[in-house]
Homo-oligomer: A and B are copies of this chain.
Amino acid sequence: MTIELVSSTRSFDGSQRQYKHDSDVLNCPMHFSIFLPQEAEIAPEYRYPVLYWLSGLTCTDTNFSQKAGAQRLAAELGIVLVIPDTSPRGKDVADDPSYDLGQGAGFYVNATQQPWKLHYRMYDYIVDELPALIEAHFPVSQRRAISGHSMGGHGALVIGLRNPERYTSISAFSPICNPIACPWGEKALGAYLGADTTSWEEYDASVLLGRATTHVPILVSQGDDDEFLEQQLRPEALQMAAGACNYPLRLEHHAGYDHSYYFIASFIEEHLRFHADYLLKRHKTAI
C-alpha cells in the first residue's frame, strides 16, 4: 500500500496534494487528492476527522479541489478532505464513448457484468481500500463523513446508508436520489449490474433509506433551476422515503441555483459546518 506524491500546493496554510497509487480493488493505478489543514501537518501525532467527497459525471479528483472553495472551511474546522477519482482509468480499462458510462462514470458500484467487472468496483474502493490507505498514510481518525455531487451525491448517500457505522454524517448536492427510476441510473446500473433490477436496489438511496435501521443524519441541497432535477435527480423519492420512516433528512431547495460548481461553492460552508457538528464531537484522538 504505497502512495506516490504527484503534487503539493499550499492552500489556506495547509496542503492541497495529489497522490497516485496502485489499486488492488480497481486493478489499475489511481489518483486521489487530499487537503491537509495546517494542524495535521504541524501536529501529526494527533488524528483528524476526514470528509470523503465523491464527484459527479466526467469529473476527476481536481474539479472539487479547484472549484468548491472547501479548503477555507476545512482549514478553519481542522478537517481533512479526501477527493477520489470517479472511476478506474487507463487504456486497459473498459470504456464507453458516452459521458455517462465507463471512465468518469463509475457510479460507485461493484460491477458484475462484462466488460466492466474487472475494474469497476468503485463501491469497494471508496468503502474499504481508499480509507485503509488514507488511514495508513495520513494522521486521520476514524471519524469519517461523506459527501458528493450528482453521481457523487448518489455515491455518498448509498455508501453512507449502507455503512452507517463508518460515517458520522452524510450530505449531497443535487444527488441522483432514485437511480433505479431515472435514465442515467437505468443505463449505468443496467450496464454494470445486468438486467435483474433487484440487484440495483442496493445502489438506490431512496430504497436504502427506507430500509435503514441506523439513522445517520443527512443533509441534501438541491437547486430549483437544476437542468437535471426532474428527469434524473428525483429528490422527492428520497423525501417520501424519509417521511415514511421518520428519517433525519434535511432536504433544502434553493431557488435559482443550477447543477454547477457555483451551486456547490455557494453552500459548501453549510455542508462542512453540518459535518463538523458530528465529526468534531471527538475529533482529536491521541494515537
Point out residues on A near B: beta carbons under 8 Å: 9-13, 16, 66-67, 69, 71-72, 223, 225, 254, 256-258, 260-263, 265-266
A269 nearest CB neighbor, chain B only: B72
A14 nearest CB neighbor, chain B only: B266
Q: For A71, what are the chain B residues with a Cβ–Cβ distance below 8 Å?
A: 262, 265-266
Q: For A66, what are the chain B residues with a Cβ–Cβ distance below 8 Å?
A: 66-67, 261
CB distance from A55 to the nearest CB of B (A): 15
- The count of identical subunits is 2
CB distance from A33 to the nearest CB of B (A): 11
CB distance from A238 to the nearest CB of B (A): 22
Residue from B9, B10, B67, B257 within 8 A of A10 (CB atoms): B257
Q: For A9, what are the chain B residues with a Cβ–Cβ distance below 8 Å?
A: 258, 260, 262
Q: A66-B66, A67-B67 are in contact. Are A10 and B262 (CB under 8 A)?
A: yes
A13 nearest CB neighbor, chain B only: B266
Residue from B12, B257, B266 within 8 A of A266 (CB atoms): B12
Instruction: Report the bound CA distance from A69 to B256 in whole Å.
Output: 19
CB distance from A18 to the nearest CB of B (A): 12
Are A16 and B69 in contact, with the CB atoms below 8 A? Answer: no
Q: For A223, what are the chain B residues with a Cβ–Cβ distance below 8 Å?
A: 10
Offer 23 A-B interface pairs, CB within 8 angstroms, sorted by A. Answer: A9-B258, A9-B260, A9-B262, A10-B223, A10-B225, A10-B258, A10-B262, A10-B263, A10-B266, A11-B262, A11-B265, A12-B266, A13-B266, A16-B262, A66-B67, A66-B261, A67-B67, A69-B69, A69-B265, A71-B262, A71-B265, A71-B266, A72-B265
Q: For A11, what are the chain B residues with a Cβ–Cβ distance below 8 Å?
A: 262-263, 265-266
Instruction: Report the bound CA distance from A223 to B258 in whole Å.
Output: 35
CB distance from A226 to the nearest CB of B (A): 10
Instruction: Report the bound CA distance from A263 to B11 in whole Å.
Output: 6
List 18 extra interface pairs beyond A10-B223, A72-B265, CB under 8 A: A9-B258, A9-B262, A10-B225, A10-B256, A10-B258, A10-B263, A10-B266, A11-B262, A12-B265, A12-B266, A13-B266, A66-B66, A66-B67, A66-B261, A69-B265, A71-B262, A71-B265, A71-B266
